[in-house]
Structure 1
Amino acid sequence: MAAPGGRTILVTGSIGVHGVTAVAPHGVSAILRHSELSDAPLLADVVATVAAGGYRIPRDLRSQLLNAVRLSESQCLLGRPGDLMSPAELDIVRLVARGVTNAGIARSTGKSEGSVKKKLRVLMQRLDTRSRAHLVAYAARRNLF
């Protein structure tokens, strides 16, 4: 990531809203897609903008971010960049904290037990937690419930 006071241009194949919220606190001032690197005038403009203290996000990504900001609070993601959870994921973590089994979580959420297992596995990978207890502790330490 960027050195203190430094400015960084992230070059990526693809990035979405979650990716932007994860990298923004680390000094990323501009995002360029690999496909934009061959556009010399655009590249020069982005470098000049960042050097002058500005920011640049691709137009389509800007609209996605604006739409995300406009979502109602019940649809917003909770947590800090890098440890984001949707309300549905947080509900699952709350049920895990109460000791509810995957089958019980499935009944409570209207999902299949397989979907609950997969959601927990993906969530634990994303948050780098190793067990159900670790997942609950992670959320509790961040005051997510």
Structure 2
Amino acid sequence: MTALELELPGRQAGRHKEGGDSVRVLLVDPSPLSRSCLLAGFGENQAISITGCGHVEDLQQDPFPEGDPDVVILQAGGQDIASREFGDRLRALTQRFPGAATMLLSGPEDIGQMLAGLQLGVGAYITGDIALAPTIAALQLMREGLIIYPRATLNGLHGNMGPLSRNTALPDSLEMRSTDTALTPRQLDVLRLLARGLSNKAIATELDISESTVKVHIRAIMERTGMLNRTQIVAHFFREWH
């Protein structure tokens, strides 16, 4: 039995890399065969530090001694992402690892499923026809705060709301709701740029502030709106727009 196949208490061992530059990834996949294959594939990349389990509830210890995972990959093939049960699972996952982005591995493109994932705050939606290399690239981009979805999702949103530009204004309803939650003018600036899909670094450049200040504003927006991550902020913007 190799180290990759060794079952630890409540966790399946994966490939761990030393150093703080690797992306810490927790793979949640109930299928032992699928989980082992994915761990082997991701583990070959030196930029990824990955471990896996069948269910988050099975974890008896933190997956990484140095901190929470940067990204949690959730195998969602054959499941209804829009269902209440799936939503409850995602919320439990977010509560367990509040700083982690979530990537779903799913089947063929389904615009309804993708939009449901966006509304639930999922940071990336990867279909079965996407190869390993771009999926690894997506993991690295997610750590930088980017949201990764197939083009079909954007096409579906575009049909409802039209293109966003640099000067796009927030809808009146969202402005009013932002006033109700006491967002500052600067936080509204950050919200507009989040809605355009900009990364933390790009927002910092656009507003001429530090990246750490951008993170402070995003945390404040989440606290005052009750949202759990930046993806839910963007999804909220989309819902208010159409």
Q: Scaled by the length of structure 2, what TM-score is found?
A: 0.25
Which of the pair is proportionally richer in helix? 1
Which of the pair is proportionally richer in strand? 2
